[in-house]
Each structure stands twice: as C-alpha cells, then as structure tokens.
Amino acid sequence: MAKIQARILRGFRDYLPADMIPRRAMFSKVEDVFRIHGFAPLLTPALEYSECLLGKYGDEGDKLLYRFEDNGGRDIALRYDLTVPLARMVAMNGGLTLPFKRYQIAPVWRAEKPGRGRFREFFQCDADIIGAAGPDAEVEILSVGVGILKALHVGGFTISMNHRGVFDGLLAGIGVEDPEKKAEVIRTLDKLDKIGQDRVMEILASEVGLPASSLERIAEFLSLEDGDLDAAKTFFDGDEVAIAALDSMASTLSLAQEMGIGDHLEVRLSIARGLDYYTGLIYETTLTALPDIGSVMSGGRYDGLMSMFGAPAHAAVGISLGVDRLYAALLELEEIERKESPTEVLVTVFDEESRTAAFQFTHALRAAGVAAEVHLGNTKKFGKQFRYADKKQIPYVAILGPDERAEGKVRIRTLADGSEQLLSNAEAIQTLASTSS
Amino acid sequence: MAKIQARILRGFRDYLPADMIPRRAMFSKVEDVFRIHGFAPLLTPALEYSECLLGKYGDEGDKLLYRFEDNGGRDIALRYDLTVPLARMVAMNGGLTLPFKRYQIAPVWRAEKPGRGRFREFFQCDADIIGAAGPDAEVEILSVGVGILKALHVGGFTISMNHRGVFDGLLAGIGVEDPEKKAEVIRTLDKLDKIGQDRVMEILASEVGLPASSLERIAEFLSLEDGDLDAAKTFFDGDEVAIAALDSMASTLSLAQEMGIGDHLEVRLSIARGLDYYTGLIYETTLTALPDIGSVMSGGRYDGLMSMFGAPAHAAVGISLGVDRLYAALLELEEIERKESPTEVLVTVFDEESRTAAFQFTHALRAAGVAAEVHLGNTKKFGKQFRYADKKQIPYVAILGPDERAEGKVRIRTLADGSEQLLSNAEAIQTLASTSS
C-alpha cells in the first residue's frame, strides 16, 4: 500500500473524544426533552436526487450543494438542510398520521468558504410539527424549546417572537407588494442587530429604493416599544393583516403563559428572520449570559412549504437549535466540560501475577455500572499506568498488588488529591458505584 | 418553485419513527456498554480526500466509492468504512495517549448493487483498541462484545475464534508463501459455510491450482475437531508459527475464562474472515436462536494496518457489530418492537374551554417525566383524537371534559382494554409516571 499523507478536508473536522463526550451528553439531554414532548426521531439519507434539493435554497444555496454524478449517471447531492428532505419524505408517505411531530439531529453539507465557526459539515437539530395550524402548535414548539434550554442549564434566556403578518401589513401599507422586493426589505431589516438602524435605513433608501415617506413609516414602526401590543395595534389601526398577526401572537402568548413558559417570551416587532418561507410566527433566542453569540434557537411557522413536492400544503411550525453555539455556550458557562475518556476507574496491573485479579475486579466494577478499564500491555513501568490515568482524566485508580491481595483488599487512589483508601473489593465497588455518574 | 416528484435514491432509505425509536433504544444500550468498558466516542467527517481512501479496500472497493470532484477541484469521496478514517485520524494526532479505545456508530456509503438487505447507505458500529498488543486487549474487545449481546438480550450466542497464524503455518507448510495466493486461499476457505467443503476443495484445485498433496493436508486440517487445541498442536507439530498462534489463542481463552466470558467462546479452526488485513485473532459470532442470519459481531487483530498513513505501526484489535442484522434479530426475538411515537399519554382537548386545562395537565405530566402530547387543532370531532392515539400506538388517553373538571379530576383511558379510571390530577400523574418507561 503506497504511503499517503494523512490530511482532512478544509472546513471539516474530527470530533475527538474530549469534545464528543460532552457533545453526546448535550444531545442526550436534548433528545430526552423531545421524547417527553412526544417528538419522534426521523433519519433521512445523506444523499438525495439533486432535483429534489435544487431551487429550494435560492441561487446561492444551489451553488453551495455538494452535487455530483454517481456511477449510474444519476445527478445527486448531499443534503443541505433537514427541512427539504422532511418535505420529500412527507410527500412520499401520504399515509402519515397527522399531526406528525418529528425531530432530526444530523450533519448537513454546504460548500461555503470555511471560516471562524463556519464549517462545510455541521450538525443541525430540528423539530417540526406538520399538519397543525393555530397557536396551540406554536406553543408546543416553544414549549419543547424552553424545555431544552432549561434541561441544558443555560441560565436565563429570552425568546423574541414576531409574526410575518406584521411585515405583510407594514409593507402593504407603504405599497411594497412585489414578493422579491418584500423579501429584500425583510432581509435588510433582519440585519438590524448586526449593522444598526442607520445603516439599515441607508440600504433601504439607496439599494432597495424606498421613498422618504416609506422610510419614515418604517422608522416609526421600529420605534414601537417591544412587547407593547396595544401601541402596535394603534399603529396598525385599520390594517386587517397586521391586526390579525398581532392577535395571533397575543393568543400564542396567552396560552404560553398558561403553560408556565410565558416568562421566557417577549414580542419584538423588529425580529425579521432572513428566510423567505415563513408565513406566521417567527422567533429567535438570546442567552442572558452570552448575548453576543447570537440566536441559539430559532424558527417559526411555514405553512405551505411542505407542498414543494406536490403534497398537500400542510400547516407546519418548527424549531432549530444552534447546536454548535449551544455547545460553545455550555463550555463557557462550565455546564459541561471536555473529557478525554468516559472511564471512572483505571484498574492497574501491578505485575503479571496480578493480571487475573485486575481483570476480575474490572469485570465486577462494570457489572455494578461503573465505567472501568484495566491496564492493557506490559507491567514493567508501573508509574506509566498512573500517567495514563492522569492524561485521560480518569479520576480513580485501583491498585491490586501482592500486599493488597494478601489482605483481600484493593487500594483506591483519588488522583485529584492523591488520597488513598484501602477497602475490601465489595466496599470499593460500592463506593465507586455511588460516586460515578 | 417548480413541483418536482418526490423520490428517494435506490439503495437508500428513510428511517421512519416506527423503526427509529427501537433502533435508537438498541444503539443506546450498545453505547452504554461501550461507556462502561471505557471506550470513547469518535466522529470523523463523511467526506475524505479520495487518496486517503483509494487502495485500502482492493480494486473492487475503489470502484464502489462515492467519489467526485468538489467545487474547488478536490478529488473527494464519502467514507467507505470507519477503519480507514480512524487510521487517518490517528496518523494526524501523534499526541494521542495510547492505548486509544474508541467506538464510532455512523453511516458509510458504497455504490453496491442494491438488493435484499443490501443498501448503499448503511450503519457501521465499530470499536477498536489502538496501541495494545497481547491477549489482554483481545479479551477486552471480546468482553465489550459479550457485554453488548447480553445487554441486548439476544439469547444464547457463540463467538467462534481463530488466529491468522494458524493459516500462515498451514499455508507455509504446503509451500504457499506468495501473499496474493495466500489471500486467495483464505478468501476461498472463508466461503466454507456458504458453499460447503466440496466446492471449496474444487476451487482450491481448479482456480487456485493447489496440488493434490496440498489439498489433502487442508482436508486433514479441516477435519480437526473444533476446540481441540491439543489435536491441533499435534497436527502442527514443529510448525513454530502455527504453534505460537495456538498458544496465543489458549492465553486469550484462559484470561477470558477468568473474566467470566469464556463460556461464550469456542475455537473454530475453519474460521477465516475474508479481509486481508488481519494478523492475529479473528472471530465471528452466531446467535443460537437465529444461526441463519450469519455473523452478528466480528473482528480481529490487525497490527500494522494503522501505519497506512505513515504513522507508527500500532498494534490494533477491533470489533464490528452487524447492526442491521442485530436489529432484525431483536425484532424477530420480540426483544424490541416497532413504535410509531414515544408518547405515553395523549391529553385530549374536549372543547375550546378545556384547552387550557389540557395544556396545563400535559405540562405537569412532562415535568413528572411522562412523555405526553396534547391534541393540537380543532376540537370538533372528539373521536378523531382517540383514533390518532390508536394509530400512533399511544397507550393512554387523558380526558379533561367539563364533567371531569367540575369534579377536579381527570379520566385516564387505557386504549388496550378500554378501561377507565377517574383520578385527581396528582393521582393520575403519579400512576402514569410509575407505568411509563
């Protein structure tokens, strides 16, 4: 076999154990909250027919697809998100019982320019309810989101919500009806937090070409106080679309209050969300302790999108967790920590005569639910076994040398402080089982 | 957006909730056993440089790669297995603390002709110990395998083991030293179970071109009784390589006995394993109840393979679970069952006035750890809510109509037998929490 230099593609990464262990712990908590809320797991293939993906993400998205011809001449591509494959699956399974509540945690691939925190392979974590209109489905989606952030112990957080109907009303009121132009205005407003209101107004004037009267109306709209639905209703007096949107948000908010999750919600009329396909509620989430990392959880209602493959235009509402941001936040908040190994106890092998006893003790620890591993390899350098435990962040080391065995005991050393206990095997197992997670 | 017909690539599949729920339960048990044994999770990218994969799987394997040029002109391919990416990662991370014990559960892609039970995207589940020679590492690998099959409740099983040194001795004894020819003989012997001894002998004579005396020696070897290491030692008298291999197996077996897993092991000298890269122990596993599904767990020692990228030639031993076979076996043995939804309780909404109470009760159930969902949508057809629960295999339905609420109670119906209980909310939550998993 010719020797080839080992290298990894730019924009891709190996998740080594030190990151995989806390990441898996995080996902496990997330999945448990999905389960408690009755969301079922779904898995779709990594590869799809290109025609099923093309035209769904805009021209820019099409260019970012990992698209190629397979050996059979089929035009195929790696999935770009989890929503389009979901729609494809729903269209192919007409017999699905609705509402259909599913989640999916899986990698997606985008040939973006790699950069700080931007990868070509990254995980998405989405949950969606297909086939349920109305505020109750929205509260269910918000409820699972609140449950997840609480389970992860992220501290305080605010879910800022808005409704696309508010923009429909606002833009109709200033004569912007063309869908392309509407989308352009909304995408510009979505940049408020990033570039500030002055710059947004400049772009709306110079690039989108809105007249001064329209800019004035938008500025007035942006000056409405967050959360003051009454003021917003006065502003939109007579505008049925906007008023209906505000009423819909009020209903969602009121049901959320009754569910006990209202305190985490606020109405923020400037929230726009860049994506074109939202049709009702939209929301994003900021962590109180780490506002600068951006939204960690967002989504909204996208009725009709599911019809992209000719299936019925089911109502749909979804949530998407920014798992890379959440993982970074949890590390920073010290809610999780990097860990080289799942092992709680390294059972050392003092000499060849001690090997059997070491293996048997390891076996007994595992039977009691303690993550244990036994030293593998030669026993010439006993100190090396401790250095291994140290490097792998294994908290306890068990020693079963001739002296310990003569007494029918095992010595347990706590590496953090070097303290030791001489215990019977049964006592040691009990002690270690009670301290291990 | 142009309407495109929804379709899925041949050889690929959607895992719908009914299969994903039990599959995830299976993987969760598997991962727990890995953890208890100190194996850490690893995740490598789906895409690799083609040159890192080419030449590692033989000409046939090279042809089956999903290989293409990305937008930047790089020659890339989807991973074909989990072993080569592991070797690539080890070569790139020289500072890894050895022994390195990792597992990975992930899809791989092969452009094979799809057929019954053969897919182009399927999951592999591998664990390996890198950097540990000797029987102790082998017993660790066998131990995690035994632990997994026990945790999955597959019933009885036999791990049949052999050692590549036995073949080295046998083939050296009949003058077959050329690596290509050796591999050809081993691949032919690997087909014993499938095509029978007569056909194997025919192929060895006509296609491999072994003379009659060699065929006689092989036939004599195959007539050795399984497990009789003494008879094998007599047969190989004076052949140092084969004797060392038999002694190595005896050591592994003896340590395995002391670990309490010896009863699941047997020596079977005809086990060959098709892959070329094994250098020592090889093994495969048959379920007592379902011998016909083939090996559900196999692997062996492959010292040196890790050097494929120029890294040191670490000792290595691994295990690979046939997860699709195991899943099929567990369904057949009724150890797991297909399930449409994780939900234990559907909380119905009797009428619009009942919605708040229903949401609050759902919230309380979830807080008590019960997987619950609330009816979403209009309340016009109450019976439809029960049909939903039925279709989704949700075992309990909660009813909070005006009558129940007037009494301060909730009615819990068990769908399996139609029985009902009228309970206070607190009693109902307690009852449901104690019956839910």
Q: What is the pLDDT of residues A225-279, one digit of tens each?
A: 988 999 999 999 999 999 999 999 999 999 999 888 999 999 999 888 766 789 9
Distance in angstroms (rounded) separating the CA atoms of residues A228 and A250 = 11
**Span B329-355, average pLDDT:** 96
The CATH number of the domain holding residue B97 is: 3.30.930.10
What values do phi and psi take at A67, rounded to 5?
-120, 135
* pLDDT tens readout for residues B265-278: 999 998 887 667 88
B108 lies in which domain range? 13-156+288-338
Is-contact B432 B412, C-beta < 8 A?
A: yes
Q: How far is CA B350 from CA A410, B189, B198, B358, B402, in A?
A: 63, 68, 72, 9, 8
* pLDDT tens readout for residues B295-341: 999 999 999 888 889 888 899 999 999 999 999 999 999 999 999 99
From the list B20, B41, B363, the residue facing A41 with the nearest CB is B20
Is-contact B283 B300, C-beta < 8 A?
A: yes
**Res. B436: pLDDT tops 80:** no
Distance in angstroms (rounded) separating the CA atoms of residues B46 and A120 = 11
Q: Are residues B66 and B144 in the same domain?
A: yes
Q: Are residues B172 and B249 in the same domain?
A: yes
Helix or strand run (H / E) with residue A267: strand A265-267
What is the band of B1 on the pLDDT scale with cuts at 50, 70, 90? low
Distance in angstroms (rounded) separating the CA atoms of residues B5 and A433 = 56
Three-class secondary structure of residue A225 per DSSP: coil
Helices (H), B152-239: 164-173, 179-189, 192-206, 212-222, 229-235
Is-contact A374 A359, C-beta < 8 A?
A: yes
Is-contact B39 B101, C-beta < 8 A?
A: yes
Helices (H), A69-211: 83-92, 135-151, 164-173, 179-189, 192-206
Q: Does A180 touch chain B (CB under 8 A)?
A: no
- Of B297, B314, B338, at which residue does a domain stop? B338
Q: What is the pLDDT of residue B190?
A: 87
Q: Are residues B171 and B231 in the same domain?
A: yes
Q: Does B53 touch chain A (CB under 8 A)?
A: no
Q: What is the pLDDT of residue A435?
A: 86
A372 to chain B, closest Cα gap in Å: 6
> Are the beta carbons of A309 and B3 separated by less than 8 Å?
yes
Report DSSP state, residue B256.
H
Q: What is the pLDDT of residue B323?
A: 96
* pLDDT tens readout for residues A356-408: 999 999 999 999 999 999 999 999 999 999 999 999 999 999 999 999 999 99
Is-contact B231 B224, C-beta < 8 A?
A: yes
What values do phi and psi take at A224, rounded to 5?
-60, 140
Q: Are residues B320 and B350 in the same domain?
A: no
What values do phi and psi take at A71, rounded to 5?
-60, -25
Domain assignment present for B378: yes
Residue A317, Cα to own-chain centre: how many angstroms? 16
Instruction: State what percent of residues in chain A have pLDDT above 70.
Output: 99
Residues of A whose CB is below 8 A from B56: 1
Q: What is the pLDDT of residue A356?
A: 94
Closest CA to A414 of B96, A436, A406: A436
Place of tokens 């990792």: B102
Q: Are residues B240 and B325 in the same domain?
A: no
Helix or strand run (H / E) with residue A399: strand A396-399
Question: Residue B195 has which token pair?
Answer: 């095509």
Domain assignment present for B173: yes
Place of tokens 């059997």: A356
> Are the beta carbons of A369 and B20 separated by less than 8 Å?
no
Distance in angstroms (rounded) separating the CA atoms of residues B376 and A129 = 10
B273 to chain A, closest Cα gap in Å: 20
Domain assignment present for A307: no
What is the band of B364 on the pLDDT scale with cuts at 50, 70, 90? very high
Report DSSP state, residue B70.
-
Q: Are residues B92 and B185 in the same domain?
A: no
- Residues A152-184 as b/e (b if ≥16 CB within 10 A, e otherwise) read bebeebbbbbbbbbbbbbbbebbebeeeeebeb
> Are the beta carbons of B40 and A48 separated by less than 8 Å?
no
Q: Which long-range contacts (CB under 8 A, 24 or more apart) does B235-242 make?
A: B236/B166, B236/B169, B236/B170, B236/B173, B239/B169, B239/B172, B239/B173, B240/B169, B241/B165, B241/B168, B241/B169, B241/B172, B242/B165, B242/B166, B242/B168, B242/B169, B242/B170, B242/B173
Residues of A whose CB is below 8 A from B44: 14-15
> Are the beta carbons of A121 and B66 separated by less than 8 Å?
no
Q: Does B400 touch chain A (CB under 8 A)?
A: no
The CATH number of the domain holding residue A393 is: 3.40.50.800
Residues of A whose CB is below 8 A from B21: 40-41
Q: Does A293 touch chain B (CB under 8 A)?
A: no
**Res. B247: pLDDT tops 80:** yes
Domain assignment present for A375: yes
Q: Would you state the torsion angle of the CA atoms of residues B44, B48, B53, B57, taken in this order, to the nearest 10 degrees?
A: 60
What is chain B's alpha carbon radius of gyration, rounded to the nearest angstrom?
Answer: 28
Q: How far is CA B91 from CA A7, A55, A425, B94, B105, in A?
A: 9, 41, 40, 6, 21
What is the band of A62 on the pLDDT scale with cuts at 50, 70, 90? very high
Q: What is the pLDDT of residue A56?
A: 86
Average pLDDT, chain B: 94
**Span B203-214, average pLDDT:** 94
| Tally of CA atoms within 13 A in the half-sphere of A325 that contains its CB | 18
Domain assignment present for A388: yes
Q: Are residues B147 and B24 in the same domain?
A: yes
Q: What is the pLDDT of residue A166?
A: 94
**Res. A299: pLDDT tops 80:** yes
| Tally of CA atoms within 13 A in the half-sphere of A114 that contains its CB | 11
What is the number of residues in chain B? Answer: 437
Average pLDDT, chain A: 94
Q: Does B426 touch chain A (CB under 8 A)?
A: no
Q: Would you state the torsion angle of the CA atoms of residues A163, A166, A172, A173, taken in this order, to the nearest 10 degrees?
A: 180
Domain assignment present for A425: yes
Q: What is the pLDDT of residue A339?
A: 93
What is the band of A179 on the pLDDT scale with cuts at 50, 70, 90? confident
Closest CA to A283 of A324, A291, A270, A185: A270
Residue A190, Cα to own-chain centre: how many angstroms? 21
What is the band of A91 on the pLDDT scale with cuts at 50, 70, 90? very high
Q: Are residues B326 and B359 in the same domain?
A: no
CB-defined contacts A:B, below 8 A: 287
Q: What is the pLDDT of residue B242?
A: 95
Closest CA to B48 of A81, A113, A12: A12
Domain assignment present for B265: no
Give how many domains chain A has, as a whole number: 1
Q: Are residues B170 and B152 in the same domain?
A: no
> Are the beta carbons of B48 and A255 separated by less than 8 Å?
no
**Span B369-387, average pLDDT:** 95
> Are the beta carbons of A52 and B4 separated by less than 8 Å?
yes
- Of B209, B242, B257, at which residue does a domain stop? B257
Domain assignment present for A284: no
Q: Are residues B171 and B251 in the same domain?
A: yes
Residues of A whose CB is below 8 A from B133: 377
Instruction: State what percent of residues in chain B have pLDDT above 90.
Output: 85
Q: What is the pLDDT of residue B305?
A: 85
> Are the beta carbons of B121 and A45 separated by less than 8 Å?
yes
Q: What is the pLDDT of residue A57?
A: 86
